[in-house]
Amino acid sequence: LGALPDAGHVRQDLARTRVATGDIRGGLTELREARRITASVEPGLRAVGDLALASAELHLALGEYPAAMVLFEEAEASFTEASSLAGQAAAVEGQGLLSLLRGDEAEALGLLARSASLQAQAPRVDPRASSVTRYYLASAQEEVGDVDGARASLEEAREGLASVGDAVGEAAVLSVLGALEARSGAPQTADSLLARGLELLEDRSAPEVRSRLHAERAAILAASGRLAEASEEYHKAVRAVDGPIAGLPMESGLPARMRASDLLAARAGILLDLGEVGEAFLTSERSRARNSLTSISGGRLGIPPGAPAGLVEREQDLRRRLHDLAGATESGGWDPLGLRDAT
């Protein structure tokens, strides 16, 4: 029986890896298998904490924040009872990130500082885990106006990730550091950091990080009047985030879909400034269509008792048709007015 919990841990690690590389569907599959394996034995407190933590991270990736918070808190309770400082730190970090996402920067700052303290007390310091905490801590610091502290935290995070050869993590830090420098009035420094981030990624699958790097570069180029280059960077940013969500149900990966919609809207504005009116209109309509389809298909119809037979099947069929239509907008194939031919 001892091998079963180990297999569960392997599945959890695979789930995290798949989600990190944009394969959310694969992450769900691996996590279901981890739950099945763990349920087949009497798990220890650490195993329970690990599974809750992995589940929380997946819900976070899917944008299901309330469920993620509950699971992070469950994970913290299990790790505390198991006297696992590293586990506690990870669970508290997750809560801090969620606080940051909902706009409570002061709470996030306290939770992330506590996570860093727990990591420092652990018997073994994990450079990667510490770097990720510093990465999130920097966001909270900048939000409360501590720009110098944020810059220092990001540099620490970058050094830590570089020390363990985590190119994707380092690129993610560079995307945030580049954006910080751009907001601080140093666009050349910012662009250099973002370009370095893209170099680090090479052909690695890291869609969210790649999209962010291209989007930040696009904003800098647009601000300097290099509109054609900015349009191309926005296009690359959309393509990067589109691939992993293309095969997902519409109710999954909503943050990524909304991000793609925002990027399309930004590109539409650039195209309009360039005088490419037809393409700007088409791009804008794609953005609006995505927003509408995401809002509609992300809902859930309440089926009342005694409803006519087949109503559930009709709802599911409607969702499938909406998903197909959304796929057409995401691939650029939706052109209801024939503008592509006209231009």
Q: Each residue of 310-337: pLDDT tens digit?
A: 544 554 455 455 455 555 544 444 344 4
pLDDT at 11: 57
- pLDDT, position 156: 93
Contact 52, 74 (CB under 8 A): yes
> What's the pLDDT at 280?
84
- Report the pLDDT value the prediction gives residue 317, as an integer from 0 to 100: 54
The 10s digit of each residue's pLDDT in 128-164 is: 889 989 999 999 999 999 999 999 999 999 999 999 9
Average pLDDT of adjacent 10-residue blocks, the chain of 343 residues: 46 59 64 57 70 83 86 94 92 94 92 93 87 92 93 94 93 95 94 95 86 94 93 90 59 63 86 88 78 55 48 50 50 43 42
The count of other CB atoms within 10 Å of the CB of residue 43 is: 18
Position 37: which residue type? I
pLDDT at 71: 92
DSSP one-letter string for 68-124: HHHHHHHHHHHHHHTT-HHHHHHHHHHHHHHHHHTT-HHHHHHHHHHHHHHHHHSSS
* pLDDT, position 321: 53
Tell me which amino acid residue 87 is: G
Cα separations (Å) of 158 from 66, 152, 171, 221?
30, 10, 8, 24
Q: What is the DSSP string of 108-145?
A: HHHHHHHHHHHHHHSSS--HHHHHHHHHHHHHHHHHTT
- For 200, phi and psi rounded to 5 degrees? -65, -35
C-alpha to C-alpha distance for 298 and 251, rounded to whole angstroms: 5
Burial class (CB in 10 A: 0-12, 13-18, 19+), 38: buried
User: pLDDT value at position 256?
Assistant: 65
User: Which pTM value belongs to this model?
Assistant: 0.65
CB contact at 8 A, 119 and 85 = yes
Q: What is the pLDDT of residue 40?
A: 45
State residue 313's pLDDT score: 53
